[in-house]
Amino acid sequence: MISILDYDAGNIKSVEKAVQYLGEEAVITRDRDVIMASDKVILPGVGSFGDAMNKIREYGLENVIYDVVDADKPFLGICLGLQLLFKTSEESPEATGLGILDGEILRIPDAPGLKIPQIGWNNLEINPNARLFKGLPENPYVYFVHSYYLKAKNPEDVAASTFYSTQIHASVEHGNVFACQFHPEKSSEVGLKILKNFIELEV
């Protein structure tokens, strides 16, 4: 069973439907006992960094997330869920994120001819050893919606990158912690394969 953390994030139902489509039981929950009893955990997210962290704390999920990570359960952050794994974001300078991974969340720089947020399909440059992207072709296209991006501190954490005005670290893997800036649940067959790889992970 996979727990999808419920903190009023916008794309929770679409993540649940994608997981269920792949034949895996999924539950949307903020119940600590249910989360800790699950095999894997997903932190989705749409919205602002500061508001999301406030909701996570309001619902008592911050320490649950740390406990999940410490228990070596496979953990997947999606979109804002990736950004929340880091300590700070230029979007909400006053807010403190989870600080599980090292890096910066920065605003995508303005560039001629490019609109911000990035909304639409972009291709990935994949680390061939990345477990989330096992079995995918080179440079697959996935669906993004974001104005802020990750610049990871540790190159070895970067599972995939893309370019949109700047080099964007689009996916990370560190131990049992995985995350994607893009939306696998909206990325057609490629996205379903990424979610399937997560479901089948053994950490």
120-171, pLDDT tens digit by residue?
999 999 999 999 999 999 999 999 999 999 999 999 999 999 999 999 999 9
For the chain, how many structural domains are there in total? Answer: 1
**Would you state the pLDDT for residue 136?**
97
CA atoms of 153 and 66, how far apart (whole Å): 20
Whether the predicted model's global pTM rises above the 0.85 cut: yes
Residue 76: name the closest of 152, 183, 190 by CA.
183
The set of catalytic residues is: 79, 183, 185
Token pair recorded at residue 191: 């996205």
The CATH number of the domain where 38 resides is what?
3.40.50.880
Reported as a pLDDT band with limits 50, 70 and 90, residue 71 is very high
Rounded mean pLDDT of 87-109?
A: 98
CB 98 within 8 A of CB 70: no
* For residues 75-101, average pLDDT: 98
Q: Which domain holds residue 166?
A: 2-199
Report d(CA 103, CA 82) in Å as an integer: 11
Task: Classify residue 167 by its DSSP letter.
Answer: E
